[in-house]
């Protein structure tokens, strides 16, 4: 039954704002004595009510330029044919004039480098020369057409700028995990979470990610997020600046220690994926893999533009961010016991966990001993002079809010309440 249950989405703020903007256009038109054509105001207002405020401004500019260009050429058309009557005008001549007019309208938007406004310019031009050329006072229509559009644009901008929060929390750095929190099992973020997260970030929300993923694995589902702060990746082994595409801090395993580890790994017939950062590029060295699961994994991951797989032996003179080993669980557990017995657990940070995608297989990852999400978060706080943080995760006792019910919008909804409480609600200090 649950498989076929219909999940009805709620009415979002953009819907409310769109309806409000249209209603205000009617009110303004009434105050003007109903002399305008409110339809054009409504269209302009709806065009300017966007998900992101930056888009509202760019759309408003686009609509304004399109209206001005179209209105100017529509007016010129009227001046050239002041006595035009649609009944006795030659069809061929009229068609030719409209053809020339459209060419001039579009070409003008190209000349002023506003090609994206060409559609609106054409709409305004055609609304004048086709529908209103025979009016008693077409000049009046041209003026009203311009005024109606500008009124709608102003209403759309104002409505989209209204916020019901007067005290956003722009002091706290909010930190979230990825798996089970933002990204579902299909490695996708919901449309709601993406829109709301970007809207708040653009408004001034301090937000970052702390994850076991590499930048490549992180950016595949979250490439559209407007990250302004560096993200903590590879379980605290590195901090990556998404905007600049560079690593700003790393904890690495020296080439000498890495060579030692590789020799020990080969003793147990295991084959590591060796992750190295060179010139802000993550390289993964690997060898011939006899195991089908490993071969399939490499063939799948290497197609990503964010990853760089190199089939060759480890050079020995490069620092390693971490080793990843995937094999059948029995072999991984035996190898893990040897790592403990040889004292590697005291020298490195070692994680072992079962694979969710490959039954009967498990992972071991080996990092620099100092690799830690907590240490990297402390570094971010110090670097950006942030006094307080608020964290979301899946492990009890480690985070301020636990997300463990696979509700992939829950974190963003909670974040929205913390960042921008409604008017009259006191912001929590927790």
List, for residues 83-131, the tens digit of each pLDDT value: 544 444 567 777 888 899 899 999 999 999 888 889 888 988 888 887 6
Euclidean distance between CA atoms 325 and 352, whole angstroms: 10
Can you give the pLDDT at residue 328? 95
Can you give the pLDDT at residue 290? 77
Lowest average pLDDT, out of 172-181, 232-241, 286-295, 333-342, goes to 286-295
Can you give the pLDDT at residue 89? 52
Whether pLDDT at 40 is above 90: no
Whether pLDDT at 6 is above 60: no
**Minimal CA–CA distance to 393: which of 218, 212, 175?**
175
Comparison of pLDDT for 231 and 154, the residue scoring more: 231
Can you give the pLDDT at residue 4? 47
**Minimal CA–CA distance to 324: which of 266, 271, 259?**
271
Tokens representing 300? 């799948």
Euclidean distance between CA atoms 290 and 180, whole angstroms: 32
332 touches 363 (CB < 8 A): yes
In sequence order, which residues have a C-beta less than 8 Å from that of residue 61 and are 6 or more positions away? none
Comparison of pLDDT for 56 and 368, the residue scoring more: 368
Tokens representing 265? 């790994």
393 touches 181 (CB < 8 A): yes
Can you give the pLDDT at residue 319? 95
Lowest average pLDDT, out of 56-60, 213-217, 333-337, 375-379, goes to 56-60
Confidence of residue 303 (pLDDT cuts 50, 70, 90): confident
Whether pLDDT at 139 is above 90: no
Confidence of residue 136 (pLDDT cuts 50, 70, 90): low
Euclidean distance between CA atoms 58 and 210, whole angstroms: 33
Whether pLDDT at 428 is above 50: no
- Collapse the DSSP code of 67 into the 3-class scheme (helix H, G, I; strand E, B; otherwise coil) and give the result: helix
- Collapse the DSSP code of 235 into the 3-class scheme (helix H, G, I; strand E, B; otherwise coil) and give the result: helix
* Rounded-to-10 torsion of CA 97, 101, 103, 105: 180
Taken in order 107, 109, 114, 120, is the CA torsion positive or negative?
Answer: negative
Can you give the pLDDT at residue 97? 83
Tokens representing 383? 């670097």
Per-chain mean pLDDT for the chain: 86
Can you give the pLDDT at residue 236? 97
**Minimal CA–CA distance to 184: which of 410, 415, 419, 413?**
410
* Mean pLDDT on 267-282: 93
- The fraction of the chain above a pLDDT of 70, given in percent, is 88
Euclidean distance between CA atoms 40 and 8, whole angstroms: 32
**Minimal CA–CA distance to 175: which of 237, 236, 250, 245?**
236
* Mean pLDDT on 190-197: 90
Lowest average pLDDT, out of 2-6, 15-19, 269-273, 299-303, goes to 2-6
Tokens representing 173? 């750095």
Can you give the pLDDT at residue 424? 41
Can you give the pLDDT at residue 423? 44
Euclidean distance between CA atoms 112 and 331, whole angstroms: 67
**Minimal CA–CA distance to 122: which of 208, 39, 63?**
63
Can you give the pLDDT at residue 90? 66
Neighbours of 244 (CB within 10 A): 10
Can you give the pLDDT at residue 400? 92
* Mean pLDDT on 345-359: 95
pLDDT tens per residue, range 54-92: 667 777 888 888 888 988 898 888 777 655 444 445 677
pTM attached to this predicted model: 0.74
Q: Which helix (H) or strand (E) holds 284?
A: strand 281-286
Phi and psi of 342, rounded to 5°? Answer: -85, 0
């Amino acid at each position: 039954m649950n498989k076929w249950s219909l999940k009805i989405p709620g009415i979002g703020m953009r819907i409310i704002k769109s309806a409000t903007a249209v209603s205000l256009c009617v009110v303004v038109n009434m105050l003007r004595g109903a002399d305008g054509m409110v339809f054009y105001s409504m269209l302009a207002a709806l065009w300017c009510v966007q998900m992101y405020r930056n888009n509202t401004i760019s759309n408003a500019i686009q609509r304004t330029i399109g209206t001005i260009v179209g209105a100017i050429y529509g007016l010129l058309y009227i001046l050239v044919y002041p006595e035009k009557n649609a009944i006795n005008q030659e069809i061929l001549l009229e068609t030719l004039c409209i053809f020339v007019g459209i060419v001039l309208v579009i070409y003008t938007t190209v000349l002023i480098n506003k090609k994206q406004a060409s559609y609106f310019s054409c709409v305004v031009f055609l609304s004048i020369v086709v529908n209103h050329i025979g009016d008693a006072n077409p000049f009046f229509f041209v003026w009203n057409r311009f005024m109606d559009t500008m009124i709608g644009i102003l209403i759309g901008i104002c409505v989209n700028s209204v916020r019901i929060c007067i005290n956003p929390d722009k002091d706290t750095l909010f930190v979230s995990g990825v798996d089970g929190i933002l990204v579902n099992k299909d490695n996708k973020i919901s449309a709601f979470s993406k829109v709301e997260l970007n809207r708040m970030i653009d408004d001034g929300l301090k937000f970052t990610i702390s994850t076991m993923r590499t930048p490549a694995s992180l950016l595949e589902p979250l490439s559209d997020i407007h990250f302004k702060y560096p993200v903590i990746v590879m379980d605290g082994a590195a901090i990556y600046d998404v905007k600049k595409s560079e690593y700003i801090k790393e904890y690495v395993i020296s080439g000498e220690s890495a060579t030692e580890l590789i020799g020990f790994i080969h003793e147990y017939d295991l084959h590591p994926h060796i992750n190295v950062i060179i010139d802000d590029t993550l390289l993964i060295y690997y060898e011939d893999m006899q195991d089908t699961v490993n071969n399939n994994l490499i063939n799948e991951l290497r197609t990503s533009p964010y990853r760089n797989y190199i089939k060759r032996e480890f050079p020995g003179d490069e620092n390693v961010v971490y080793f990843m080993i995937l094999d059948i669980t029995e072999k991984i557990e035996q190898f893990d016991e040897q790592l403990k017995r040889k004292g590697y657990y005291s020298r490195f940070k070692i994680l072992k966990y079962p694979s969710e995608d490959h039954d009967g297989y498990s992972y071991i990852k080996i990092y620099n001993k100092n690799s830690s999400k907590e240490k990297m978060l402390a570094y971010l706080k110090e670097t950006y002079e942030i006094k307080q943080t608020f964290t979301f995760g899946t492990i009890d006792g480690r985070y301020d809010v636990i997300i463990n019910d696979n509700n992939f919008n829950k974190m963003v909804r909670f974040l929205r309440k913390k960042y921008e409480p409604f008017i009259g609600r006191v912001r929590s200090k927790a």
